[in-house]
């Protein structure tokens, strides 16, 4: 992270699948760094449909100045073939707040979306969608 960033994240990818862990509270510096790294990862998928799990269990909030950056990243992801998306979150109030602030005005899309509160539910949702979870992503997901 560059100087001035608050909060952190980890992004793992394999076979057109992304798993992102988000930690703590974010400012614009961290949000911009995350957006750029996620863009770089997804660009490696060469315009193929991709799936993602965004793990908010250790995330807190972001500054209001970060909302447009995150909204732009979500729109970019939808325009670049994000096909299946899971938000893994234990406290839905935090995520609902984010959704209200950031998801307003998203581009039309066909992405399947689910919000779940535990790892078993992630696995079940992916199975319901018939999406294979890559082994390395499963290992990261199961590592707390």
* Residues 39, 77 contacting (CB under 8 angstroms): no
Q: Residue 40's beta-bridge partner residues?
A: none
Q: What is the pLDDT of residue 2?
A: 45
Could you tell me if 71 and 106 are in contact, meaning their C-beta atoms sit under 8 angstroms apart? yes
Model confidence at 143, in pLDDT bands (50, 70, 90)?
confident
Question: Is residue 47 within 8 Å of 82, Cβ to Cβ?
Answer: no
What's the pTM?
A: 0.90
According to the model, what pLDDT value does residue 105 have? 73
**74-93 pLDDT tens trace:** 999 999 999 999 999 887 67
| CA–centroid distance for 61 within its chain | 14
Q: How far apart are the first and last CA of the chain?
A: 22
Q: What is the pLDDT of residues 97-123, one digit of tens each?
A: 777 777 677 777 889 999 999 999 999
Mean pLDDT score of the chain:
89
pLDDT on residue 1: 42
Q: Is residue 10 predicted with pLDDT exceeding 90? A: yes
Domains annotated on the chain, with CATH: 12-41+50-141 (3.30.750)
Amino acid 39: pLDDT: 96
How would DSSP label each residue in the chain? Answer: --TT--SEEEEEEETTEEEEEEEEEE-HHHHHHHHHHHHHHHHTTTT--EEEEEEEEEEEEE-GGGHHHHHHHHHHHHHTTEEEEEEE-S-HHHHHHHHHHHSTTPPP---EEEEESSHHHHHHHHHHHT-PPPHHHHHHHT--
């Amino acid at each position: 992270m560059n100087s001035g960033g608050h909060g952190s994240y980890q992004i793992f990818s394999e076979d057109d699948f992304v798993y992102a862990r988000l930690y703590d509270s974010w400012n614009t510096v961290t949000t911009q760094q995350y957006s750029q790294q996620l863009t770089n990862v997804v660009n490696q998928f060469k315009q193929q449909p991709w799936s993602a799990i965004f793990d908010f269990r250790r995330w807190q909030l972001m500054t209001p100045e970060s909302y447009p950056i995150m909204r732009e990243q979500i729109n970019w992801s939808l325009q670049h073939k994000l096909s299946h998306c899971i938000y893994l979150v234990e406290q839905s109030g935090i995520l609902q707040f984010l959704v209200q602030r950031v998801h307003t005005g998203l581009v039309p899309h066909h992405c399947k979306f689910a919000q779940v509160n535990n790892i078993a539910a992630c696995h079940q949702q992916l199975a319901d969608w018939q999406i294979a979870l890559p082994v390395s992503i499963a290992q990261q997901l199961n590592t707390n």
